[in-house]
Chain A
Amino acid sequence: MLQGVVSGLLFGGVYSLMAVGLTLIFGVMRVVNFAHGDMMVWGMYLAYVLATRAGIDPYASFLVCAAALFALGFVVQRGLVDRIVDAPHEMQILLMLGVALVLENVALVAFGPEPTRVRSPLASATLWLGPVFVDVARLVTFLVAVALTTALWAFLFRTDLGRTIRAAADNTYGALVVGTDVRRVYAVAFGVGAACVGAAGALVSPILPFQPPTGLSLSVASFNIVIIGGMGSLLGAFVGGLLVSLAESLGAVFLKPSLKELFSFSLLIVILLIRPAGLFGRRSA
């Protein structure tokens, strides 16, 4: 069982990265990215293409994937979401659902429905850390994910652009008044959020078999984490990612694999019902 705990925690790095991306988008723009999981799947497929066509290992290509997804996020925000910033929430939800549908099914048409995995030499390496087996792949994934999250934190709290993003998140009107190009800030924020899952997807692609429908489970996992940790809270998303991954990992120890989804969705319902502001949430949706 300790094995389960360690595995879970290591995988949690990726979950955290994923969740941080989602919460950033929500925190800045109050938009729920229903296409989050599907974007991550694209990160995975991109890593796959780079690995099979260009021979680049995902542990090297994750930055490229992040950049590509950044572009996607930026375009989605600038071209689509931006136009309905003032519309009722239902419209935003439907818009992102539409984006999710397009992403998932283009992937289906382009790559087929069969599950895929990316080959990487690291994937089969393991080492002993005390009493437990550690997948080198998972360890590297965890370390990189933590590094990226830290980099993101530094970006948001130490750079001017990052501070501008946070300011716009806290007070859009005020940001406008001081001359901030709020639209650009939003687009950057969305792009960064998408870049997070781009990287996360690449990192995970050797470990987790994926297919286009995986997007939904990943989205659900993201929502679980973000709601537990508190919508809009970066720390909450990070901690939540570790917790949820741990819970799922322990759950997998005791449950049939096919029931894992059942567990995730049930967890989501429970969280929805008792959520108020989550662990660290400072605002309500």
Chain B
Amino acid sequence: MKWVLVAGVLALLALPAVLSSYALTLFILIFFYGFLGQAWNIVGGYAGQLSAGHAAFVGVGGYTATMLSIELGLTPWVGMLIGGVLAALLGAIIGYLGFRFGLRGFYFVLLTVAFAEICRVAVSNIDALGGPLGLYITFTGNPRQFQFQDGRVYYYIALALMLVATLTAWAIERRRFGIYLAAIREDEAAAEALGVNAFKYKMLAMVVSSFLTGLGGTFYAFYLFSLQPNTLFGIPLSVEIIIRPIVGGAGTLLGPILGSFILTPLAEISRLYLGQGGLHGAHLIAYGVLLIGVVLFLPEGVYPRLRRALARRSGQTR
């Protein structure tokens, strides 16, 4: 299995040489959403705390780096880290309120959605942050400003982000941190009785997850050259973030990546063929149906099912 993964990574590294510019863009999106999904996976999959407001961290990260770049001329490379830290701060606040006050399941989901929406509305109403029309970044092509003429650089950055998030999840998974998160997800009270400080580990997961997601905000802003509060903080983005790991397999290492490889091309195709404007919602309908389908028929996600099928095929039994 390890060799398959290594070969896969090497293939991805070599790919840009043969890709058309459209395919390049597609892969950038696959990696980017895979990255966001993996970041979410740490708190939503491994720890089992369903957050439906992760877009808030993307927004905080993106707006921070952009404002620092516009107002202070600070390079987004540093702005990215600051954005991540601020996103982690927001994550800590949400986590603290949620976990200290014992908000589980649906209550926690509501909390995260409420925070994301508050951010969205607040930013929409602050003119200094561009108001509802948002901010625009002038194209300079200057690498120091996180802008590149060559699309392939974005490809490698997005790939790097996805790998960083995956390595982080991997490191967590095999240590006590990850094992404790799994125990919390299975049965928090039983875990507590075994010495697991559930509050501490949930908070840690939340902070790591929101930090990473915040980094993604900067990439988003400087790749698309614009930010709008409705896009960056809105529920559609939160849905994009969570749907890939859920379909691919929440709480597994490869789930978010597999999910992104499956869903991102589908979303792009639907965007192409079903047109613009009012029909833009069409791919969200597909997402809704998929979500329902996954819950009913494939609750663990595609990856675990696939892994079992492959294991059976090669003659091994569990």
Contacts and interface: CB of A to CB of B under 8 A. Distances in A.
A and B touch in the complex (CB under 8 A): yes
B105 A105 contact: no
B166 interface: no
B107 A94 contact: no
Contacts of B125: 256, 258-259, 262
Contact of A94 (B103, B279, B284, B291): B291
B285 A106 contact: yes
Contact of A258 (B114, B124, B281, B285): B124
Contacts of A266: 114, 118
B182 interface: no
Nearest to A97: B291
Contacts of B110: 220, 223, 268, 272
A32 B118 CA distance: 22
Name the residue among B48, B118, B281 with the largest chain A CB count within 10 angstroms. B281
Contacts of B246: 94
Interface of A: 32, 80, 83-84, 87, 89-91, 93-95, 97-106, 108-109, 112-113, 212, 216, 220, 223, 256, 258-259, 261-262, 265-266, 268-269, 272-273, 275, 285
Contact of A105 (B109, B121, B282): B282
Contacts of A84: 295-296
B121 A259 contact: yes
Nearest to A89: B105
Interface of B: 48, 50, 52, 97, 101, 103, 105-107, 109-111, 113-115, 117-118, 121-122, 124-125, 235, 239, 246, 278-282, 284-285, 287-292, 294-296, 299
Contacts of B52: 97
A103 B101 CA distance: 32
Given A93-B50, A216-B235, A285-B107, A261 B117 contact: yes
A32 B106 contact: yes
B118 A101 contact: no
A267 B198 CA distance: 27
Contact of A109 (B121, B282, B299): B282
Contacts of A89: 105-106
Contacts of A87: 295, 299
A220 B50 CA distance: 17
A103 B125 CA distance: 29
A98 B295 CA distance: 9
A265 B117 contact: yes
Contact of B296 (A90, A95, A97, A113): A95
Given A105-B281, A261-B121, A269 B239 contact: no
Nearest to B52: A97
B48 A90 contact: yes
Contacts of A285: 105-107
A102 B278 contact: no
B111 to A, nearest CB: 6
Nearest to A95: B295
A101 B239 contact: yes
Given A84-B296, A98-B290, A109 B285 contact: yes
A212 B282 CA distance: 13
A217 to B, nearest CB: 9
Contact of A102 (B118, B289, B294): B289
Contacts of A268: 110, 114
Give the top 9 A-B pairs by smallest Cβ distance, nearest first: A101-B288, A98-B291, A102-B288, A108-B281, A105-B281, A98-B292, A105-B284, A105-B285, A89-B105
